Structure 1
Amino acid sequence: MSEWSITKLGDVLEITNGYAFKSVNFRSEPEAGCLPVLKIKNVANGDVHINDVQYHHFEEKLSKYTAQKGDILISLTGNHPHAETQVVGAVSKLKMDIRAFVNQRVAKIDTKPNLADKDYIYFALKEEGLSKYLASQSSGSANQANISKADIEDLDIALPPLPEQKTIASVLSSLDDKIDLLHRQNKTLEAMAETLFRQWFIEEAKEDWDVSPLGDVVKIAYGKNLPTSRLLDSGYPVFGGNGQIGFYDRFLYSEPQVLVSCRGEASGKVNISLPNSFITNNSLILERKENGISFEYLKFYALAYDFGLHISGSAQPQITIDGLFNAEFRWPPLGLVESFTEVVRPLEDKRLTNYIQIQTLENLRDMLLPKLMSGEVRVQYQTEDVA
């Protein structure tokens, strides 16, 4: 590793803080000449997404605050590591072929020419040791931690020669690309099943179908308390109110379950757990009974139902078992449920197979990442010709 050098990120990066847009100028819907505005919530989970975004009219003077496909973004404000939601110092890549504004408290990272490879920097910043160190430098409270451009620039990084950087990034990117492909396949499979459910059970629903309280159809149960401090880096998946939040050394349910978030801002959100999962008490579990209602039907019924109708409490929104008991459940003919299940179950099985492959690839990537970034595992690379 004699050819590797230790350098400050500020020596090889250009970091641009986002712009402090005025909220009064945001549009809630896309309009001609407008770009989506990426906030912390859009960049804090690994890949940039444009769910629940606002839009702002493009002006040439704001062009330096835009990002496009391949750009790296980092959240400058958020919670400390192991929080369920936004995490300070989280690094994401914009993988969609769009142009977007970068909002205040998000920064865009570019590399200086011929000094560092952008994708290598992306993976280096995602490496657990570096990301945790960066988050540890944050100021503020646990609920509102902050890092600055200077904090990022002052971070030491091990840099191999540029050709080796590119080869390392290529290895890790190929794994990410396969993972992304499987995620897209799963979204397509989910959309197919949702479309079929909507057609059969919403658009073509009959007025004479019976209606029952949800509590008569399923057993509604709370998950178990599990402090976030006891979460592990591996083991059985743990589901909180916002989805999977980590791992634990035991599980509560061997089969996937339909979950309804029951505490805080996420109340009413539906999540679907995985086989052999632990469910925290931030969710209510809709346990099936022997009544002909399949898991597949219950899942898509729950995804289509507005559980927000059963939220109580103003200072602390919540959904209780009693409050959810009388939620409406429509009984279609069981033969129609069986036909739906017959079509959808292979799609669900394929989604699960894809998920298992995603987990395998993610584990491989996460195992390789620190080894490649430290030089413990080396890659063969071709030295670039110098003209």
Structure 2
Amino acid sequence: MSKQETDIGTCPAHWQVVKFSSVAELKHGYQFRTNDFTESGIKVFKITQIKSDGSIDLSSCSFIDESRLESFTNNIIKNGDILMALSGATIGKIGRFRSNEVVLQNYRVGNFIPLDEKIIMKDYFYYFLTTENTYYQIMANQNQSAQENVGKADIHNMLVFLPPFEEQKSIAEVLSSLDDKIDLLYRQNQTLEQMAETLYDAWFEESDFTSRVSDLIDLQNGYAFKSKSFQDLGEDRVLKIKNISGGIVDIETTDFVSHETVENLDEKFSISTGDILFAMTGAKIGKMGIIPKTDYKLWLNQRVGLFKEKYYGSRFLAYLHLKSDYGKDYIENTATGSAQPNISGTGIENCEFPAITEQEIVEYSNQLAPLYEKVIFNLGQIQKLDALRNTLLPKLMGGEISINTDG
């Protein structure tokens, strides 16, 4: 297959390279002011709703009064819309809105709308926008100011690879099938977590807080690795606070550490499949994540806590308690330091827990363990599928992998 060199890289010779404005439009949202917002009502989607990993989180939206909805019908985000952060720390991050809930688009959120879906398929367009190709164009065109931002004219002047429509469809189908499998596994895990939370609530609905988290786990702090210990590649990986996100520990983007550094390291700092980590400092304090099923050799960095369970599965009881409203409040109130909040291992262990006997710990933990074993397996599958998707994405979007469109 013959190739062509373009201003944005190499692609098949039979693909077109077109200006963004010729196939799509960037639509800004409404510039809501502080005095527009209310305690409840219609959600407003801001750039903070697009997370650094491209996921969308509506749990922390601002609101406007429901009575004002008629004034903003043109700003309602539709299911399937492609949204981008146009300023700030997450500039260029893309998210796909997957909901029928009425949510309004704020100003610095961009909504990408194909002009004719018979020319550029919306699913293909979404995947193209998630590539580094697009990100680098945005970075090259951003306005240099105290708050990084990119304008509508800059976006409209960007370039897009435009394969024949049938190729667009095939590319999108390959990537969508992986995303669908990942989404299914996430939803399975949400159901399993809800089942576990329901059990927890039923067990401790009316209970005095006379036990402690230390009855369930010990909290192991990590090892203080030196910066010179890290390297570009290797077999041993170190998990840091940055790797904890959304209830999962990302083991694919970890830092590597030299084997010489860890060959005599105490095994108490090693991490295994199913372990639960706790962020003990900084903006992510209190965040927890479960290690997916993995064969990697993993080590625990300082200021990351590891739950060392005292009974089979009792770490899940501690996990459910510390992620509950009671646990979150305890962590917030116990942490010290304002600019950089910290909580000690002892502070976590001393968190009061509903009255529980040793027999109940064993019984409840044995009920939770099978649920979380499935969660852990699913997390491993998610990370494998996600890694495959991330490998295929640039190859498909640059035409390195040829897809048969003959049916």
Q: TM-score range by the shorter chain?
A: 0.7 to 0.9
Q: 1:260 to 1:368 in 2, by over 3 A?
A: closer
Structure 1, residues 312-358: CA drift from partner, whole Å, max 9, x if none?
22333332345545432456112212222222211111112212221
Deviates more, 1:248-257 or 1:38-47: 248-257
Indicate the residue corresponding to 2:281 in structure 1.
Answer: 263
Aligned residues of 1:213 and 1:327 also touching (Cα < 8 A) = yes
Asked if structure 2 preserves the Cα contact closer than 8 Å seen for 1:268 and 1:311, the reply is no
- Tell me how large the CA RMSD over aligned residues is: 3.1
Match of 2:40 in 1: 29
Provide structure 2 residue ranges, at least 5 long, that are not aligned to the other structure.
1-11, 258-268
**What SS does structure 2 have at the residue aligned with 1:96?**
coil
1:13 and 2:31 aligned: no
CA shift for structure 1 position 195: 1.1
1:42 paired residue number:
49
Q: Is the 8 A contact 1:73 1:109 kept in 2?
A: yes
Q: Residues 183-240 of structure 1, C-alpha deviation per residue, up to 9 Å, x if partnerless?
A: 000011011011101211x2143x4x7534749951441464587xx79799858341
Is 1:240 the equivalent of 2:241? yes
Write the distance in 1 (CA, Å) between the matches of 2:358 and 2:303: 32
Describe the shift of the 1:328–1:226 C-alpha distance in structure 2 as closer, same or farther (beyond 3 A).
Answer: farther
Would you say the 8 A contact 1:223–1:284 is kept in 2? no
Answer whether contact 2:211 2:356 (CA < 8 A) is retained.
no
Aligned equivalents of 2:390 and 2:234: distance in 1?
12
- Between stretches 215-224 and 255-264, larger displacement belongs to 215-224
1:227-283 per-position Cα deviation (integer Å, ceiling 9, x unaligned): 7xx797998583416524632335941244433333333333333344654544453
Query: 1:361 Cα deviation (Å)?
Result: 1.7
Quick one: structure 1 residues 291 and 185, their matched pair in 2 at CA, closer, same or farther if it must change by over 3 Å? closer
Q: Secondary structure at the match of 2:77?
A: strand
2:126 matches 1:125? no
Question: What is the TM-score of this pair, normalised by structure 1?
Answer: 0.83
Corresponding position of 2:374: 350
Structure 1 residues 279 and 29: alpha-carbon distance in aligned structure 2, compared to 1, 3 A threshold = farther
Cα deviation digits, residues 11-49 of structure 1 (max 9, x gap)? 21110112110222222323xxxx311111212342333
Aligned: 1:69 with 2:70: no
- 1:180-195 aligned at under 5 Å gives the runs 180-195=183-198
Shift of 1:115: 2.6
Q: In structure 1, what is the equivalent of residue 5 of structure 2?
A: none
**Alignment size in residue pairs:** 365
Question: For the residues of structure 1 that align with 2:376 and 2:169, how far apart are their CA atoms?
Answer: 33
Native 8 Å contact 1:69 1:99 kept in 2: no
Which residue in the other structure is 1:83 paired with? none
Structure 1 residues 196-345: aligned runs within 5 Å: 196-200=199-203, 202-205=204-207, 207=208, 210-212=210-212, 214=214, 218-222=218-222, 224=224, 238-240=239-241, 242-243=244-245, 244=249, 246-249=253-256, 252-274=270-292, 277-288=298-309, 290=310, 294-304=314-324, 305-306=327-328, 307-321=331-345, 323-324=347-348, 326-330=350-354, 332-345=356-369
Note if contact 2:217-2:349 (Cα within 8 Å) is conserved in structure 1: no
The residue type equivalent to 2:34 in the other structure is S
Identity across aligned pairs (percent)?
A: 29
Change (3 A) 1:283 1:77: farther
Between 218-227 and 6-15, report the one with greater CA deviation: 218-227
* Mapped contact 2:218–2:349 kept (Cα < 8 A): no
Deviations 1:110-155 (A, max 9, x none): 00113311111110011233324423543447x8432222232222
Q: Please say if residues 67 and 102 of structure 1, whose CA atoms lie closer than 8 Å, have aligned partners that are also in contact.
A: yes
Asked if 2 retains the 8 angstrom alpha-carbon contact of 1:220 and 1:321, the reply is yes
Alignment of 1:106-185 (within 5 A): 106-113=109-116, 114-140=118-144, 144-185=147-188
- Do 2:76 and 2:102's aligned partners in 1 also have CA atoms closer than 8 Å? yes
Cα gap change, 1:132/1:38 in structure 2, threshold over 3 Å: closer, same or farther? Answer: same
Tell me how far apart the structure 2 counterparts of residues 183 and 347 of structure 1 sit (CA, whole Å): 14
CA distance in 1, matches of 2:404, 2:322: 50
Query: CA deviation digits over 1:282-306, x for unaligned, max 9?
Result: 5333433x46772222222322323
TM-score normalized with structure 2 length: 0.79
The DSSP-based 3-state class of the residue aligned with 1:350 is: helix
- What code does the residue aligned with 2:82 have? I
Relative to structure 1, the CA distance from residue 379 to residue 217 in structure 2 (aligned partners, 3 Å threshold; closer, same or farther) is closer
Which ranges in structure 1 are unaligned for 5 or more consecutive residues?
80-86
Distance 1:213 1:196, change over 3 A: closer
Residues 62/216 of structure 1: CA separation in 2 closer, same or farther (3 Å cut): closer
